[in-house]
């Protein structure tokens, strides 16, 4: 790696200002060349005490417009060279939009906007401001051109003697600073503000607006905006759309591959119109703004008819709307294709799913793929000789040959009524979309006692938690032990992008996070995505499930009857060859399917994992 790749702009400024000598830099370079981990040369100088943090800040504040943003973040250790290269590629990907580097870095989650702003304010000595309409100088606004401010991302804040304080989202952009000087024909004091705050403020200011300076919202604008939001969600394969009112703006984010990313932001005045439009579309109560509401929305995007669940939640800044997109056209994946290890799958089929009766629970948090796995189980057991009946809220996959019911409390078809009626339909298999309360849990248990096979989902952290939560619902321990045959816990982790995957060697920190030491993961095909257009420079494309299967054998039954602790039951299950969520994640990371960072981010770490060779055997990986 060359010195230019590591970054040396700040070091050059320190040399130019006489803070460090050429000999000190030469010695630091010799040390730097021997390091195995790529760190900035500046870090070596600081470690050698050749320069102090205060000296660096002093030089940066004196020469702050002489250093590009990318070089600054690189040398301060905020970015690594690979991330900076990706950001620059993204910046030039669409020349027509001419995005600033800071905008790209924030939009693609290379850095947090608030942290970036505070870093620049601290290191470079800029005043940090949060400009609002109420504290701006009306005279300066009257002299301002809205289009010019929007183009150059600045807004005048106040007069400070003979100077004008101007807030920029990127104060290191000399073109924007010069544009502000030319606009006011005066000396300016450069301040810094978060880009989202500045854009929201500029959205409220319009050269064509009335005396209040607030843009009017047209009905056609709202319809087009909502349609564009839903179309964008479908285009990127988002599972959820979040319309969130903040104190000074409306933020729209999409959940893709389990991670929220910013789509767009709108002026605060746009919020009421957006909410009303969505309420009209899903037939919710427009006049009701004090209570939470749930609704359903059908909408056509291109040639797709979308079925969506809409949750309206009242917050201190107004109503927040979350739209869950249900893709009912998706095919149900066979069980042997969903990602279970071969040995785990064989045990699940033989010891759980193919048993004539009993409760099989699929557990995990919201958005962990429980429903998809539930339908894969149904797809496996369906045949002309079996009567399968479901109670769901709502039906997410339509399967021919089974009786599916979407509960609807508004017409007295709630879960309570449906579950009472379901056992009178002569079913062989009962599918309860979700155990929500003691009544639905008791119904599942009683159905299993009368010889039915029951498939359901449950919100718990892991497989043992499913048993513990049933007991906490006041279900008798002997009923739980005699009816539950298996609990399958799962999570969804982001999959490494195949288009840009590269070999990766775990760091000591990775090993420590996983509970390993030394070279226990050496020699395996671990990979990491470098970022490309296919994965939108995230390094991930799609998701894969991670499983933890608990089979309730005689030892587990005795432990339940004796009210043993969750830790004790977990240890018994591990001795019965249960692969934990963490361990299944490690197996899949060792195969290059996901990354250590995803495992650390998503999976519970309750016990030290067993050696990888043992985990591969338990999973069935050759």
Do 59 and 168 share a structural domain? no
Q: Which of 160, 212, 237 is nearest to 191 (CA)?
A: 160
Helix (H) or strand (E) holding 22: helix 22-33
Domain harbouring 284, CATH code: 3.30.450.90
- CB environment 328-358: b (16+ within 10 A), e (fewer): eeeebeebeebbbbebbbebbbeebbeeebb
What does the pLDDT look like over 399-416, one tens digit per residue? 888 999 988 777 778 777
Do 440 and 368 share a structural domain? yes
> Considering only 84-98, 212-226, 487-501, 534-548, which range has the smallest mean pLDDT?
212-226
What distance lies between CA 341 and its chain's CA centroid?
26
Position 599 scores a pLDDT of 93
Do 261 and 136 share a structural domain? no
The 240-245 sheet, strands edge to edge: 259-267, 249-256, 240-245, 318-326, 304-315, 293-301
Q: Which of 47, 40, 199, 60 is nearest to 122 (CA)?
A: 60
Structure-token match 């401010």, residue found: 149
Q: Which of 467, 488, 466, 464 is nearest to 478 (CA)?
A: 467
Q: What is the pLDDT confidence band of residue 230, given thresholds at 50, 70 and 90? A: very high
Q: Is residue 211 part of a domain?
A: no
CB 180 within 8 A of CB 188: yes
CB 486 within 8 A of CB 550: yes
Q: What is the pLDDT confidence band of residue 330, given thresholds at 50, 70 and 90? A: low
Rounded to 5 degrees, φ, ψ at 96 are: -65, -35
Tally of residues, the chain = 622
What CA–CA distance (Å, rounded) separates 442 from 439?
Answer: 5
Q: Is residue 436 part of a domain?
A: yes
Q: Name the DSSP class of 452.
A: -
* Whole-number average pLDDT of the chain: 85
Q: Say if residue 411 is exposed, middle or buried (CB neighbours under 10 Å; 0-12, 13-18, 19+).
A: exposed
39 or 610, greater pLDDT: 610
Q: Is residue 212 part of a domain?
A: no
What's the rounded mean pLDDT across residues 495-521? 84
Give SS3 for 459.
coil
Q: Is residue 604 part of a domain?
A: yes
Position 1 scores a pLDDT of 33
Ramachandran bin of 64, using left for φ above 0, alpha for ψ from -120 to 50, beta for the remaining angles? alpha
Q: What is the pLDDT confidence band of residue 76, given thresholds at 50, 70 and 90? A: confident
Q: What is the pLDDT confidence band of residue 299, given thresholds at 50, 70 and 90? A: confident
What CA–CA distance (Å, rounded) separates 158 from 155?
Answer: 10
What CA–CA distance (Å, rounded) separates 394 from 378?
Answer: 16
Do 534 and 421 share a structural domain? yes
Q: Is residue 210 part of a domain?
A: no
Position 95 scores a pLDDT of 64
Looking at 294, 326, 358, the residue that finishes a domain is 326
- Total number of domains in the chain: 4
What CA–CA distance (Å, rounded) separates 255 from 140?
Answer: 40
- Residue 114: which domain range? 3-124
Strand residue runs (E) in 437-522: 453-458, 484-496, 501-503
Do 462 and 443 share a structural domain? yes
Angle at 316 between CA 312 and CA 317, to 5 degrees: 80
Query: Residue 491 to residues 113, 359, 363, 582, 603: CA-CA distances in angstroms?
Result: 29, 20, 9, 10, 7
Longest CA pairwise span in the chain (Å): 88
Q: Which of 195, 176, 13 is nearest to 111 (CA)?
A: 195
What's the rounded mean pLDDT across residues 101-107? 81
Q: Which of the residue ranges 332-336, 532-536, 618-622 has the most confident prediction, judged by mean pLDDT?
A: 332-336
Q: Which of 603, 606, 599 is nearest to 571 (CA)?
A: 606
Looking at 177, 204, 231, the residue that finishes a domain is 204
Q: Say whether pLDDT at 559 is over 90.
A: yes
Q: What is the pLDDT confidence band of residue 313, given thresholds at 50, 70 and 90? A: very high
Rounded to 5 degrees, φ, ψ at 317 are: -100, 5
CB contact set of 611 (below 8 Å; sequence gap of 6+): 520
Q: Say if residue 70 is exposed, middle or buried (CB neighbours under 10 Å; 0-12, 13-18, 19+).
A: buried
Domain harbouring 401, CATH code: 3.40.50.300
Q: Is residue 455 part of a domain?
A: yes
Q: Say whether pLDDT at 302 is over 50.
A: yes
Do 96 and 137 share a structural domain? no
Q: Say whether pLDDT at 3 is over 70.
A: no
Give the CA count within 13 Å in the CB-facing half-sphere of 260.
11
Do 237 and 369 share a structural domain? no
Do 310 and 344 share a structural domain? no
Position 216 scores a pLDDT of 44
Give SS3 for 293.
strand
Q: Which of 437, 489, 433, 484 is nearest to 460 (CA)?
A: 489
336 or 91, greater pLDDT: 336
End-to-end CA gap in the chain: 37
What does the pLDDT look like over 339-389, one tens digit per residue? 999 999 999 999 999 999 999 999 999 889 998 999 999 999 999 999 999
Looking at 160, 181, 204, the residue that finishes a domain is 204
Position 134 scores a pLDDT of 66
Share of the chain above pLDDT 90, in %: 36
Q: Which of 514, 483, 497, 528 is nearest to 612 (CA)?
A: 514
What CA–CA distance (Å, rounded) separates 41 from 11?
Answer: 8
Share of the chain above pLDDT 70, in %: 93
Do 108 and 135 share a structural domain? no
What's the rounded mean pLDDT across residues 469-489? 93
What's the rounded mean pLDDT across residues 166-172? 87
CB atoms within 10 A of CB 507: 11
Q: Is residue 259 part of a domain?
A: yes
**Whole-structure pTM value:** 0.69
Q: Which of 454, 255, 464, 232 is nearest to 352 (CA)?
A: 454
Q: Say whether pLDDT at 13 is over 90.
A: no
Q: Is residue 98 part of a domain?
A: yes
Do 461 and 372 share a structural domain? yes
Q: Say whether pLDDT at 582 is over 90.
A: yes
Position 518 scores a pLDDT of 67
Q: What is the pLDDT confidence band of residue 255, given thresholds at 50, 70 and 90? A: very high
Do 388 and 242 share a structural domain? no
- CB environment 210-239: b (16+ within 10 A), e (fewer): eeeebbebeeebbeebbeebbebbbeeebb
Structure-token match 């964008």, residue found: 232
Do 148 and 185 share a structural domain? yes
Q: Say whether pLDDT at 329 is over 70.
A: no
């Amino acid at each position: 790696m060359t010195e230019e790749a590591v970054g040396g702009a700040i070091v050059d400024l320190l040399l130019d200002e006489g803070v460090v000598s050429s000999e000190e830099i030469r010695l630091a370079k010799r040390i730097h060349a021997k390091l195995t981990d790529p760190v900035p040369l500046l870090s070596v100088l600081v470690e050698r005490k050749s320069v102090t943090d205060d000296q660096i800040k002093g030089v940066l504040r004196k020469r702050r417009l002489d250093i590009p943003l990318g070089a600054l973040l690189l040398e301060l250790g905020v970015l690594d060279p690979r991330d900076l290269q990706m950001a620059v590629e993204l910046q030039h990907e669409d020349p027509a939009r001419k995005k600033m580097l800071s905008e790209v870095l924030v939009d693609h989650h290379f850095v947090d906007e608030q942290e970036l702003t505070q870093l620049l304010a601290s290191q470079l000595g800029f005043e940090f401001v949060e400009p609002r309409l109420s504290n701006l100088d009306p005279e300066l606004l009257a002299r301002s051109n809205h289009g010019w401010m929007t183009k150059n991302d600045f807004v005048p804040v106040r007069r400070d003697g003979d100077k004008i304080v101007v807030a920029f989202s990127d104060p290191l952009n000399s073109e924007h600073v010069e544009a502000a000087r030319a606009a006011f024909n005066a000396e300016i004091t450069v301040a810094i503000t978060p880009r989202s705050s500045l854009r929201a403020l500029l959205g409220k200011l319009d050269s064509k607006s009335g005396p209040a300076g607030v843009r009017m919202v047209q009905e056609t604008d709202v319809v087009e905006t909502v349609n564009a939001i839903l179309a964008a969600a479908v285009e990127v394969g988002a599972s959820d759309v979040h319309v969130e009112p903040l104190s000074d703006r409306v933020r729209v984010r999409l959940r893709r591959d389990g991670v929220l990313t910013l789509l767009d932001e709108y002026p605060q005045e746009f919020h009421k119109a957006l909410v009303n439009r969505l309420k009209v579309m899903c037939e919710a109560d427009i006049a009701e703004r004090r209570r939470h509401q749930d609704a359903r929305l059908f909408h056509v995007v291109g040639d797709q008819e979308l079925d969506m669940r809409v949750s309206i939640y009242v917050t201190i800044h107004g109503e927040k709307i979350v739209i869950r997109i249900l893709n009912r056209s998706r095919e149900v994946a066979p069980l042997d294709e969903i990602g279970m290890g071969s040995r785990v799958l064989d045990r699940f089929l033989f010891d759980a799913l193919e048993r004539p009766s009993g409760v099989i629970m699929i557990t995990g948090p919201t958005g962990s793929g429980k429903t998809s796995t539930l339908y894969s189980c149904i797809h496996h057991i369906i045949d002309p000789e079996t009567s399968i009946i479901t109670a769901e809220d709502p039906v997410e996959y339509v399967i021919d040959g089974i009786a599916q019911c979407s509960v609807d409390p508004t017409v007295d078809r709630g879960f309570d009524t449906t579950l009472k009626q379901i056992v009178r339909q002569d079913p062989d298999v009962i599918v309860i979309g979700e155990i929500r309360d003691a009544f639905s849990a008791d119904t599942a248990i009683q159905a299993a006692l009368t010889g039915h096979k029951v498939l359901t989902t449950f919100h718990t952290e892991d497989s043992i938690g499913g048993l513990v939560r049933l007991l906490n619902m006041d279900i008798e321990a002997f009923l739980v032990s005699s009816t539950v045959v298996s609990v399958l816990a799962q999570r969804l982790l982001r999959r490494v992008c195949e288009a840009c995957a590269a070999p990766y060697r775990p760091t000591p920190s990775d090993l420590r996070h996983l509970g390993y030491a030394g070279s226990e993961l050496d020699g395996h095909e671990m990979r990491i995505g470098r970022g490309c257009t296919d994965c939108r420079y995230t390094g991930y494309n799609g998701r894969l499930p991670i499983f933890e299967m608990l089979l309730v054998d005689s030892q587990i039954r005795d432990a339940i009857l004796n009210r043993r602790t969750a830790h004790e039951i977990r240890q018994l299950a591990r001795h019965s060859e249960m692969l934990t969520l963490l361990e299944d994640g490690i197996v899949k990371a060792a195969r290059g399917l996901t990354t250590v960072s995803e495992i650390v981010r998503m999976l519970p770490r309750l016990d030290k994992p067993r050696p990888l060779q043992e985990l591969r055997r338990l999973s069935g990986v050759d």
